[in-house]
Amino acid sequence: MLRGVERWRGGEVRHVEDHVAEEVPVAFVYNDQPFAVMMATPADIADFATGFALSEGIVERLADVSVEHIETFIEGIEVRLRIPAARAQALARRRRSMAGRSGCGVCGSELLEAALRYPPPVASDVRVTTAALRRALGELRAAQALTALTGAAHAAGWMAVDGSLLLAREDVGRHNALDKLIGAMAAAGHQPEAGFLVVTSRASYEMAMKAASAGISFMAAISAPTALAISLAEHADLTLLGFARDDGQAVYTHPRRLLADRPAASGDTGASAGTPP
């Protein structure tokens, strides 16, 4: 979205058109019952809806949720979903009115036990080299079109074991970006044991919870983790990295999954085939 802005630089003031990230209310309605309203970027809404249902434990598999209708109003976007009756009953028991701010998934929880949820240990056990991690960071940066335009979005990327980018989603909310990615992964049939996650945000409790709930065993964050995220990752056997950069990273839990680059063999000059040293 373009908006007029006064840009002050070097003692000069210019009136220019600037790209601004959109943020709208998105309401999730399950079996005709309102459940949550999240503030989100109005893109990849079907992925957002299914990913949220999976990461929040509303359903356990993609086959148990269907998006019946997405409608845009002046006030925002409404997504109507259908889940099995037993799941709807369980949802009613843990019902919470979540008026989230940019994807705050625990806002509005009525009870402490509803706010904190520890998923079971992940079953996958991917191994990632530091070279693959560096490649992943670069490929995710290049895929952040919304961030490049606005500077106001987070991204979540699903990477192959070699660090190549398979899927990326962006949103003004870091939780939303991850939910959109989880929904897109499920729709595309990507399995958690075949890759790893990179996010361009801090690793909060809920980011770690959503990753582990999706069966992801390796998560790298550009910024810092929180103490509660580290605790959850330790419990869920999730390898959690923070401060992921091209020149290094901090490994907070389960470091066995991060492998150092293979050292050059004796006599190896590092030149590729056909390239003079």
Q: Is the pLDDT of residue 64 over 70?
A: yes
Q: Is the pLDDT of residue 266 over 60?
A: no
**275 confidence band (pLDDT: 50, 70, 90):** very low
Distant-in-sequence, close-in-space partners of 15: CB < 8 Å, separation ≥ 6: 4, 5, 6, 7
Architecture per CATH, 24-115: Roll (3.10)
Burial class, 252, CB count within 10 angstroms (exposed 0-12 / middle 13-18 / buried 19+):
buried
Topology classification of domain 128-259:
Cytidine Deaminase; domain 2 (3.40.140)
Which residue is associated with the tokens 């085939």?
273
Domain ranges within the chain, ordered by starting residue: 24-115, 128-259
Cβ atoms of 157 and 28 within 8 Å: the answer is no
What pTM was computed for the model?
0.87
* pLDDT tens, residue by residue, 89-131: 988 887 644 444 445 544 444 444 455 778 899 999 999 999 9
Residues annotated as part of the active site: 104
pLDDT at 220: 98
Q: Is the pLDDT of residue 180 over 80?
A: yes
Per-residue CA distances from 30 to 85, 123, 173 (Å): 10, 29, 22
Mean pLDDT across 194-205: 97
**189 confidence band (pLDDT: 50, 70, 90):** very high
Distant-in-sequence, close-in-space partners of 241: CB < 8 Å, separation ≥ 6: 133, 218, 219, 220, 221, 249, 250, 251, 252, 258
pLDDT at 261: 83
